[in-house]
Structure 1
C-alpha cells in the first residue's frame, strides 16, 4: 500500500519550503504564479489531501477554530453548531469542540482555558453560552487571543459578542397577549442573575406599562429555566383567589412553559381556553407539545453563522494589516446598522444583536377574548 503523501513530500517534489506549500494551499496571494501552478499540479498528481493542522503550523498559524459549548444536551446547541458548521464549510478552517460537562466543571473550568492557551492548537475560540466561564474567556481575550461570545448569560464583558434582542422579543410576546384581550398576564422569569432574564422582564414590564397596566408582583415569579420551576410557578399562580389568577402566562423560556402545560393538564385547565401561554426560544420540541407552543424564536443558527464570521474576521485582521488585503469575512460587519451594534463608550468591542420573531401557535389562542375585562 502506497505511503500517504505529506506536506514535506510536496515541498520536496516542488523544490520549495513547507511554508510556500502552505501559502498555496491556503490561497495566499504572495506566491510566484509559476511556483503556485507547479505546487498545485504536484498536489493533484500525488492525490495529496492537506491536513488543516499541518498546513496551519507550516504557515505559522493554525487553521483550527475552537468552539466551547456547555452540555451537548442543551436544546439550542444543535442549531447554533449547525450555523457554525455551515459557515466553516466555506472556509479553510476546521473545528475543535470543547465541552464544559459536569466533570470539567468539577476539575475547574479554567483548566480548559489554560489548555487552549498552552497547546496553541486553535487560532481562535467561539464560546457559546459560557455563563460562569466568561471570566476565563475574558482572560483569553486579555492575552490577545481571538475570542467571540455567543449569547453570554452574564453581564456584558469587554469581548466581541453575538446575541438576540431579548427585551424586544419579550415585549412582542406580551403585546400579542394584550392584543388578544388579556390583562392579567403573569411572567415566570428566568434566573435574575442572567442578563437575558432581566431583559425579558423589562420587555414584559414595558408592554404592560404602555397599556396602562401596573405590574402585579403576585404575577411575577422567578424560575430556573427548567420544566419543574415552570410547574411550581403555575401552582403558585393558581393558589391565588380565583379573581386574582392570571388568564395568560409569559414564560421566560420554553422549558418552563412545558411545566405550565404539565400543571394545566394535571388540574384540568384548558390551554388556551382557560389560560393562554407563550414561551421563549422556539426549541424544536415547542412545535411538538399539545397544544403547540406559541414562542419567541431566537435565531440560533444565525447566531452561529455570525459568531464564526466575526471570529474569522478578527483572526484574519493580522493578515489584512500585513498584506493590506481586506479580510473576506469582514465585509458583513462593516455594513451593520447602528441597531445591530452596541459598543460601550468605555471600550469598543463589537456587539451584534439579532432580532427575534414571534411564532404564533395554538397555546395562546387565536381569537380576541372579549370576555376578559380590564383591571
Structure 2
C-alpha cells in the first residue's frame, strides 16, 4: 500500500504539505498541489478520508433527502439524482433517503452528514427542514420555494413557465383547456394549476371543469385519466390537455393512441419537465424544460460552500424554465 510518506519523499515536501494539498481549503501553492497530485496519481496513492475527516472534522458524506422514495418515482426525480451525483466533488459520498421514512431524526440524520440537499416537493417536508435548521446542519433546499429568510433556496418559477405555455396554446387557436394534475399537496401541482387558471383568465380560455383530473405524476395514471377525458362527449372535451409532468403526458398520448384519437390532430397535449423521453414520443412532446441540471449543480456547489464557510448570507435563486415546442400541439 502506497503511503503519504512515499508521496512526500518523491515530491520533496513534508507529509504535512501532502496532506494540505488534498484539502481544498488549505493554503498551498497551486504548482506544488498539482505536482503532488501527479505523483500521487502515478504511484497510486489515495488519501485516507477517515484520517482526513478526523483532522477536518468532516465525514465526507452528503445527504440527499427527497420528499418520498417509492416504486413509481417520476423520471424527473431520477434525472435530478443523476445530476446531483455528477455535480458532487470526487471525495464525497452520496446518501439518498426519503423524508417520509425518517422516524428517528437523531438516529438517522444527526451527526451523520456534512450537509444535506433537500429535494422538496411538499410543505409536509417543513418539519424535517426546520429540524435541520435547529440542529445547525448545513442544508440547501431545491425544487420548492421555502418561505424562510434563513434557508438557502433554489427553485424554478413554474407559474411563469405555465403562463408562457398557455400563451403559446392560445396562439395556436385553442379555447378549451384540460389538466391532469400531480399529487394534490405537492407544490408543483399547486403552482402549475394556479398558472393554468391565471393563464386561462388572462387569455379568455375555458378551463374545462370535467377535464381537470387529479393524478400522481405516474405515466399509468396519466393514461387512465386521459381515458376519462376522452370519454366526455366531443363537444365537452378540451382541445388541449396540460399534464403536470412529462411522465403523465406520455401516458396520456398512449391513451389517445389506444382510443384511435390522433395527437395532435384530434387532441393536443403538453407536458412539463422535458425529460429525456419527451423528444422520443410519437409525436415528440411539447413541454417545458425544468432547469434540473443547473439546480443540482448550484445546490451542490452552495452546500459545499456553506460546509466550508458556514457564516454566509442566505442564497435565494429563482431559475427560469423554458417552453420547448415540438409536435404535440396542433394549430386549429
TM-score normalised by the chain length of structure 2? 0.82
Indicate conservation of the 8 Å contact 1:7/1:55, yes or no. no
Question: For the structure 1 residues 27 and 147, does the alpha-carbon distance in structure 2 shift closer, same or farther, using more than 3 Å as the test?
Answer: closer
Gaps of 5+ in 1: 322-329, 331-347, 370-375
Q: In 1, Cα distance between the equivalents of 2:131 and 2:282?
A: 45
State whether residues 7 and 50 of structure 1, in contact with CA within 8 Å, keep that contact through their aligned partners in structure 2: no
User: What does residue 115 of structure 2 align with?
Assistant: 124
CA gap 1:237/1:133 in 2 versus in 1, 3 angstroms: same
Pairing partner for 1:57 from 51, 54, 58: 54
CA distance in 2, matches of 1:47, 1:263: 56
1:184 to partner: Cα distance? 0.8
Distance across 1 between alignment mates of 2:199 and 2:220: 27
2:308 paired residue number: 316
Pairing partner for 1:197 from 189, 212, 223: 189
Report the equivalent of 2:281.
289
Q: Aligned equivalents of 2:92 and 2:5: distance in 1?
A: 18
Give CA deviations for 1:291-330 in whole Å, capped at 9, x if unaligned: 1211111111111101111112211224xx6xxxxxxxx8
How big is the shift at 1:172? 1.7
Structure 1 segment 156-195 matched on structure 2, within 5 A: 156=147, 159-195=151-187
Range moving further from structure 2, 248-257 or 232-241: 232-241
Return closer, same or farther for 1:315/1:248 CA change in 2, 3 Å cut-off: same
Q: String of CA shifts for 1:196-244, please: whole Å, max 9, x gaps.
A: 1111011111211111235342232222211233233323323333212
Instruction: Please give the TM-score of this superposition, normalised by the length of structure 1.
Output: 0.73
Distance 1:136 1:212 in 2: 42
CA change 1:167–1:142 in 2 (3 A) is same
Say which SS state the counterpart of residue 178 (structure 2) adopts: strand
Instruction: After superposition, give the CA deviation of every residue in 1:307-356 in whole Å (9 maximum; x if it has no partner).
Output: 111112211224xx6xxxxxxxx8xxxxxxxxxxxxxxxxx953322111
For 2:324, the equivalent position in structure 1 comes to: 359
Q: Which deviations, in whole Å up to 9, do the C-alpha atoms of 1:237-288 show, x marking residues without a partner?
A: 2333321211111111112112211221121111100111101111111122
Cα distance per residue 1:90-118 (max 9 Å; x no partner):
xx742222233xxx96xx42447633324
Alignment of 1:257-296 (within 5 A): 257-296=249-288
Extract unaligned runs of 5+ from structure 2: none
Q: Pairwise CA RMSD of aligned residues?
A: 3.5
How far off its partner does 1:151 sit? 1.3
Match of 2:46, SS state, is: coil
Cα offset, 1:51, TM superposition: 2.9
1:94 aligned partner: 92
| Alignment length (residue pairs) | 322
In the alignment, which residue of structure 2 is the partner of 1:215?
Answer: 207
Kindly name which structure, 1 or 2, has the bigger radius of gyration based on alpha carbons: 1
Of 224, 227, 232 in structure 2, the residue corresponding to residue 235 of structure 1 is 227
Q: List per-residue Cα deviations over 1:175-204 (Å, max 9, x = no partner).
A: 211110000111112222111111101111
